[in-house]
Amino acid sequence: MTPSILIAGATGNTGRSVVETLPKLLKSNGLSSSYRIIALTRSSKSPVAQHLAKVPGVEVIEHNWVEITSDWLREQQVVKAFIASHNAPNQFAEESTFHIAALNAGVEYVVRISTTAPNVRPDCKAYYARAHWAIETLLGTPEFAKLQWTSLQANSFTPFYLASAAQFILQYRQTKKQDTLRLMGSEDAPVGIIDPYDVGVFAAHLLALEDPSVHNKAKYVLNGPEDVTGKQVVEMVEQHIGTRVENVVYKDMVSVVEMLYEHNYASTPESKSVIMSIRHAAEPSWEGKCSASTTSKEVLDIAAPKRTPAEALEDLLVGKEDNFLMK
């Protein structure tokens, strides 16, 4: 069997672009016949999975990555892997189990998605950022020396950061009435929000390398191509609705996280205080620590992010309008 590159979460917000980009890069490097690309998904019948199944050189396999074992990785002859874990409270347990399976199966290289760089520390108030710190610390120990890895510390993703702005625009188009526009960002601090598609493209470039050792143990900071402030988001909204936004609340993380808790965790045993700690995640951006200027040089040299906040907002309006109007 041909050695495999595994894309765990292939239909997710970063995995899709990894799958779409990687075959082209392997072809350009003359490595198309050297690797089999496995696009892992929990449902091979989903529209995105069916789309990826049509990409030349890609094999879609239905399997939950949290159930992956060393035996399965050996059977599939996986030598490289991409993983974008969930950020639920059991993230560390499940992602570390994946990395241990990869280590014991002889996987040579893993590219993983981390989170906003200033948050990746042991004393971050947001629980999931501590999990990313713990994973990176684990991978950096001598026990994991045989497993090469790169961690992508991506800034806030554009769909999440701009979701409330898109919903505000769509509701105004439908009703011609305004609710309060609630934004995650502060009014004036510049933030280099990044489109997840651009993150996946960079990951694909790393996976396509015949020898990725120069990137071993690297923690790369990824931001979008330009900064945006909360005030600029308001200006974009006003351009779309053709009138002034009447009421704006900046730095609104509490209502976002409360909604997340009610929708995803209220009926589970998960601690509300743990989930609510996510409200602290945006604090470094409010302090100006997450601007586009912090992007790692390697990212700019290899595959610089391209999609701007304005383009991302346009994508949200086109992609979400039908679903929003059905609610």
Query: What is the structure's pLDDT at 33?
Result: 81
Q: pTM of the entire structure?
A: 0.94
Query: What is the structure's pLDDT at 326?
Result: 29
pLDDT digits (tens, 9 = 90+) for 273-299: 999 999 999 999 999 999 999 999 999
3-state secondary structure the chain: CCCEEEEECCCCCCHHHHHHHHHHHHHHCCCHHHCEEEEEECCCCCHHHHHHCCCCCEEEEECCHHHCCHHHHHHCCEEEEEECCCCCCCHHHHHHHHHHHHHHHCCCEEEEECCCHHHCCCCCCCHHHHHHHHHHHHHCCHHHCCCEEEEEEECCEHHHHCHHHHHHHHHHHHHCCCCCEECCCCCCCCECCECHHHHHHHHHHHHCCCCCHHHCCEEEEECCCCCECHHHHHHHHHHHHCCCCCCEECCCCHHHHHHHHHHHHCCCCCCHHHHHHHHHCCHHHHCCCCCHHHCCHHHHHHHCCCCCHHHHHHHHHHHHHHHHHHC
At 302, the pLDDT band (50, 70, 90 cuts) reads: very high
Query: What is the structure's pLDDT at 238?
Result: 98
Q: How far is Cα 86 from Cα 1, in angstroms, rounded to an integer?
A: 30
Taken in order of first residue, the domains within the chain and their CATH numbers are 4-155+195-222 (3.40.50.720), 158-191+225-291+307-326 (3.90.25)
At 322, the pLDDT band (50, 70, 90 cuts) reads: very low
At 16, the pLDDT band (50, 70, 90 cuts) reads: very high
Q: How far is Cα 195 from Cα 312, in angstroms, rounded to an integer?
A: 7
The answer to whether residues 192 and 292 touch, using CB atoms and an 8 Å cutoff, is yes
Share of residues in the chain with pLDDT > 70 (%): 98
Q: What integer best gives the mean pLDDT of the chain?
A: 95
- Average the pLDDT over 182-191 and give the result: 97
Query: What is the structure's pLDDT at 97?
Result: 98
Query: What is the structure's pLDDT at 29?
Result: 86
Most trustworthy range by pLDDT among 44-48, 152-156, 316-320: 152-156
- Residue 184 reports pLDDT greater than 90: yes
- Average the pLDDT over 188-198 and give the result: 98
At 98, the pLDDT band (50, 70, 90 cuts) reads: very high
Widest pairwise Cα distance in the chain: 62
- Residue 215 reports pLDDT greater than 60: yes
Query: What is the structure's pLDDT at 327?
Result: 27
Q: How far is Cα 277 from Cα 256, in angstroms, rounded to an integer?
A: 12
- Average the pLDDT over 55-81 and give the result: 96
Query: What is the structure's pLDDT at 31?
Result: 81
- Residue 195 reports pLDDT greater than 50: yes
- Residue 110 reports pLDDT greater than 90: yes
